[in-house]
Amino acid sequence: MLRSVQAIRYVLPLREGGSLPAIVEADDLGMYVVKFRGAGQGILALIAELIAGEIGRAMGLRVPEIVFVEFDPALGRNEPDAEIRHLLRASVGLNLGLDYLPGSVMFDAAARDTAPPDEASMLVWFDAFTQNVDRTPRNANLLVWHRKLYPIDHGAALFFHHDWETMPSKARSSFPQIEKHVLLRWATQIEQAGATARAKLRDGVIEDIVAQVPEEWLESIPGEVPAAGRRLAYVDFFRRRLDAAHVFEQEAIHARSRLV
C-alpha cells in the first residue's frame, strides 16, 4: 500500500510540462517530486501516474517510491510567486509524489547512454502495455541514478481514460507509437520480457493496484459512472490489454526491425 505524508515545505518548482511538478519536503523528512491535482492535467494524470507506476514496480522496474502527499491550505499562503500560490491553493488535499533522487540525470542516447537488453525490453513492453506515449528521445522520462535506470513521469499513460468510449478499441491497440521509444534499439528480448511481465501481473496484482486509487479522485472524473464503476473499468482495460499482449509485442518487434 502507498504511504501518506504531509507536505511541510514547497522547495523548488520544476517547470517542465503541463503538470508543473515541484520538489516538496514532507513530514517524514523526505523530499518528493510532487504532481499536483490542481495542475492543468488534473486528476487523470495522477491516476495514470499511480496505476502505471505501480504496475511498473510489480514488473520489477525501478520506479521511485510513490506516496500520497497531503497539502494543507496554509502551506502556500506566504508564497511570493502568484502562479505557484494559485497552484497550491488549487491542490489542497491529496496529491501524488515520487521519491526525489538527488544527483540523478536524464537518460540521453545522444550522450551515448545505453541500456541492458533485458531492462530495455521490459521498459518497452511496459510502456506499450500502459500506452505511455512519453518515453521518446526528446523526452525520455528515464533517470540514471548510480548507473541504474529509473522510469518516471507516467501521467501521459492510459490515454483511453480521456475518452472512455474508446476503451475497448484502445485495449486491443497495437500501439504504433512504440516506434518512437527511446530504448527500442536495445530491446532485443521483447517476447521474453512479455512472458515475465504477464507472470508477475497475475493473481490479482492489477486489482490490488487499482484499489489504491483514492475514491475522491475517481469521483472527480467527468461523467455519471460511479467510482466503483470506474475502478472496474480500469481493471477491465488491463485484463483486455493482457489478452492482446501478442498484438503490441509484435508491433514493437517489427518497429525495432525497421529501426536497426
Q: Read off the pLDDT of residues 28-46 as tens digits, 9 standing for 90 and up.
A: 999 999 999 999 889 999 9
Domain-terminating residue out of 99, 128, 145:
99
| pLDDT above 70: residue 128 | yes
Same domain for 92 and 184? no
pTM for the predicted model, two decimal places: 0.96
Give the pLDDT score at 15. Answer: 66
Same domain for 133 and 190? yes
Same domain for 130 and 227? yes
Q: Return the closest-CA partner of residue 15 out of 87, 104, 71, 103.
A: 87
pLDDT tens by residue, 63-96:
999 999 999 998 878 788 888 899 999 999 999 9
Count: domains in the chain: 2
3-state secondary structure of 164: helix
When the pLDDT of each residue in the chain is averaged and rounded to a whole number, the result is 95
Which strands, in side-by-side order, build the sheet including 148-151?
Answer: 105-106, 142-145, 148-151
Q: Which amino acid is at 121?
A: S
Element (DSSP H or E) covering residue 7: strand 3-13
Q: State which residues form the domain around 74.
A: 3-99
Average pLDDT over residues 212-220: 96
Average pLDDT over residues 170-197: 97
Same domain for 93 and 111? no
